[in-house]
A and B are shown apart, each in its own frame.
Chain A
């Protein structure tokens, strides 16, 4: 057993290396640990004061998973935040994942489960390793509209389905979008309320992807420099006189998404009418009837 070098809490033996309380990577050879008595965690990332993400393996179901963990399992509110505010934030986390779990779209990873955990919570979803869009863009230059559309279409589809369910990403950026064999979007910073902000941010990303982007000397997207004329174009697109133009672009993008999504899921077939008639004739009230009979 040892102590976390950051928060000084005692570390159980099986959790050497990564602190389960603050997420700090203590200097140790052992980084693997078991979470929720079932998930073997091999990598920790995206740790901040609200949450932490893991990648690992579901030992029961035999599949690769990601975990998004909303911290404060020990009930300690963060600085400047009351316990009730923390509770509200936890409930929002659960509500977002409840809505996301109801979505079925190929470009979003499947949510396997979400659970409350003391004052905290966690969500488990599918992990498919693949290329990262940011890394990919770092290696290629300007691409055609068609290539851009192909890259971004799965994201459009995902955004549309999410917005239809009143779930907003809140942090649509190159860093938060991860592309795999089928494009997925990391469930990071979920719970925004402004779908319009998602769309504006997405359009920015769409144009950046289409036009390529210029890296500063330090590299990365934090200091992204767009060509001046493109910055003008984006500013113009969102000014009130040109909103139609922006709307038209968005309509086109969403239309692509609708085509990609295809038909609505089939409704549950109606039970055979003759059975309901039989029940009526026998004066029996049927509350529920699910059957494979036609």
Chain B
């Protein structure tokens, strides 16, 4: 009680994480995307995988990665999540590499990986391939990972002077080919955090497969999220639905996970 006989208490609202996910097959024959988001007392883990490879190879690859990551996360006793994510990526790369078909031969399947872990507002992540992780803060969309495709190499060689502009344009036809993915066998390129990112109240983390950002511009992604700020699940559903509606010629499998920290 103070001198005026009024009891004052300090109240601080603790931000919490809300999750929503949406995944569509688009106009493809198979759904090769897999995803999961799980919340436990150890934090929230969200993962999106975009499989590739003929027939059901991509689906096998992406679901194997999601399944193993979830199981190992549940069994995790050591709190070093950054090390966990890196070690998991390397381990799962080998597992996917050895996926065999019914005839026992390697399927040659592969999958991307985009995974984040959030605990008390601190976010760690790992990314392999061209699935993306964004942070939406104060109306600005920031992509915190790179696309591990041939264009990354081409840009590097161009800026180092190892390639002329003409040579760059000649190679652009293959720019979308991935140069790093789980299943490559000797994983050497992945994006992770140097130190955990501290989320601020109001931030939104977006994980998505390339079906989303190849159909919707960043302005449209921001507009859909802003339009549906009253319902996170509706925002996720609208993102995939808008991607499907917008596609001029066919729509790839599209998956999005939204994590709102507020």
Question: Which residues does A use to contact B, with CB under 8 Å?
Answer: 38, 60-61, 98, 101-102, 112-114, 124, 275, 278-279, 282, 284-293
Known: A61-B223, A278-B74. A292 touches B230 (CB 8 A): no
Question: Nearest chain A CB to B102's CB is how many angstroms away?
Answer: 20
Q: How far is the CA of A278 from the CA of B220 in the complex (A)?
A: 40
Distance, CA A102 to CA B228, complexed state (A) = 11
Main secondary structure of the interface of B (DSSP, over half): mixed
Q: Across the interface, which residues of B come within 8 angstroms of A286, CB to CB?
A: 38-40, 74
4 closest A-B pairs by CB: A113-B227, A291-B36, A287-B39, A288-B39
Partner of A292, one of B19, B36, B40, B234: B36
CB-based contact B34/A293 at 8 Å: yes
Out of B23, B35, B67, B74, which one reaches A279, CB within 8 Å?
B74
Contacts between chains A and B (CB distance < 8 A), count = 81
Kindly list chain A residues whose C-beta atoms are within 8 Å of the C-beta of B234. 101-102
Are the C-beta atoms of A275 and B37 separated by less than 8 Å?
no
Mark B residues whose CB is within 8 Å of A: 19-21, 23, 31, 33-42, 44, 63, 66-67, 70-71, 74-75, 219-220, 223-224, 226-228, 230-231, 234, 242, 255
Tell me which of A60, A101, A290 has the highest count of chain B C-beta atoms within 10 A of its own C-beta: A290
* Majority secondary structure of chain A interface residues (helix, strand, loop or mixed): mixed
Among A101, A279, A290, contact of B231 (Cβ-Cβ < 8 Å): A101
Known: A285-B41, A292-B36, A293-B63. A101 touches B219 (CB 8 A): no
Decide: B242 and A61 in contact? CB cutoff 8 A.
yes
Q: Are B40 and A285 closer than 8 Å at their CB atoms?
A: yes
Instruction: Report how far A114 CA is from B242 CA in the complex, Å.
Output: 18
Contact across chains for B74 and A275 when beta carbons are under 8 A apart: yes
Measured between C-beta atoms, what is the minimum distance from B220 to chain A in Å? Answer: 6
